[in-house]
Amino acid sequence: MRQSIVLMALLSACANGPPPPAAYQPGGDPELLHAAVQQLTDVIVYDILSPPQASRAYAYASIAAYEAVRPAHPGQRTLAGQVRGLAPLPEPAAGADYNYPLAATHAFLIVGRALTFSHDRLDSTRVKLEQPLRSRMSPAVFERSIAYGDTVAQRILAWAAKDNYLQTRGYPKYTVTADPGRWRPTPPAYMDAVEPYWNKIRPFVLDSAAQFRPQATYRFDMQPGSQFYKEAREVYDVGRTLSDERRAIAAFWDCNPYVMHVQGHTMFATKKITPGGHWMGIVAIAARLAHADFMRSAEAYARTAIALNEAFIAVWDEKYRSNVIRPETVINAYIDERWEPLLQTPPFPEYTSGHSGISTAASIVLTDEFGDTFGFTDDVEKAYGLPARSFTSFKQAAAEAAISRLYGGIHYRHAIEQGQVQGRSVGDLVVQRIQTKNAVATTASF
């Protein structure tokens, strides 16, 4: 795949020949960071992190990378004091030479390692990325840069340890009720509810998990003519008349990290990228198209990851407050017991739509970063056997991601639309509150 080819080319260039010219430019070579982000995504897929968990890993790792490269760019503003609980980070030693892209990539991978499970995989990646660079700089600069990346990573991890994540691991199992209209596990695996206490995680910029609480969902009523019945019937009717294009859209944006398959008495799973991972891949595509240097790439990753993290907190807060039953359960009980959605229903309540919320939030931030008419071809899903799709803007991509949930048969239209409302509010807040530029922008050379 393209990311793997880029990584191999980067390693080969560093180990066997002159470093790419960009490595000597003030902005640094961003491929080092793009490769690190892709490797974190691969580990998240391998470890089957849930979508909210993945967003947390991306956010802390990306903030670490941003903060470790920022001192080389006096025009960039620290996130300390802007995101909740982050105190000022140590500055590099005055007058000493550092390779800041190396420090930032190291910080990213150290944080990513701590927030995932397959430590050996990220350790291997870190060695492959870092060691070839050793011969391209003095031993003192190499060791000093690694040490600075370590310092930033440990400060970020100490901050992350206070976000209530570990405490929520010990909360009671979520109780499923038989009340009409309430969520219950769905086939084929009937998995337990995923992250029912995610609204307890400390947000970065939201005032609270409930800050952007959406409209109330429609009252459960399956009498023909009721609004809820109309919503369920739409999902059913759309699912029976899907065009090839709509099927392709649903598959492209599925982003279900753990799809169960049943063959006779055998069950097996397919691992896939999370919704947040898909958008982090879009960041890489946009950064390359914009010829963004290391600093700007780190900024784009950090801002997008913060938006993804906040959107998951906001949406998950509503999911377990309203606790709405999924279309599959309703349609099987009241309309057609043999109906199946095109996509596998994920194991958490329906309202609001997570992909609608997080995609919209990410699109708002990326539009602010790269522009409202930034066209791109999204080939993130090619690694999972799906063809690329092209978009004229980030917002168009987010709108397609949102409506894909109706085509896939896993969300009602109201949940999609209200998820988009939440996402716009979150994205706007991140753009407003996360300021990455100081008044005077100058760039130091490496």
- Label residue 199 left, alpha or beta by phi (over 0 means left) and psi (-120 to 50 means alpha): alpha
The CATH code that applies to domain 177-433 is 1.10.606.20
What tens digit of pLDDT does each residue of 312-348 get?
999 999 999 999 999 999 999 999 999 999 999 999 9
pLDDT more than 70, % of the chain = 92
**Higher-confidence residue: 116 or 28?**
116
What tens digit of pLDDT does each residue of 51-94 get?
999 999 999 999 999 999 999 999 999 999 999 999 999 999 99
- Write down the pLDDT at residue 265: 66
- Write down the pLDDT at residue 439: 61
Has residue 22 got a pLDDT over 60? no
Has residue 199 got a pLDDT over 60? yes
Could you tell me where in the chain the CATH 1.10.606.20 domains are found? Answer: 2-166, 177-433
Contacting residues for 63 by C-beta, under 8 A, at least 6 apart? 79, 83, 86, 156, 302, 305, 306
What's the pLDDT band for 254 if we cut at 50, 70, 90? very high
pTM over 0.85: yes
pLDDT more than 90, % of the chain = 87
Residue range 360-388: mean pLDDT, rounded: 97
Residue range 22-40: mean pLDDT, rounded: 76
Q: Has domain 2-166 been given CATH number 3.40.50.360?
A: no
What tens digit of pLDDT does each residue of 144-176 get?
999 999 999 999 999 999 999 999 999 999 999
What's the pLDDT band for 107 if we cut at 50, 70, 90? very high
440 token code pair: 């005077």
Phi, psi of 419 (to 5 degrees): -65, -40
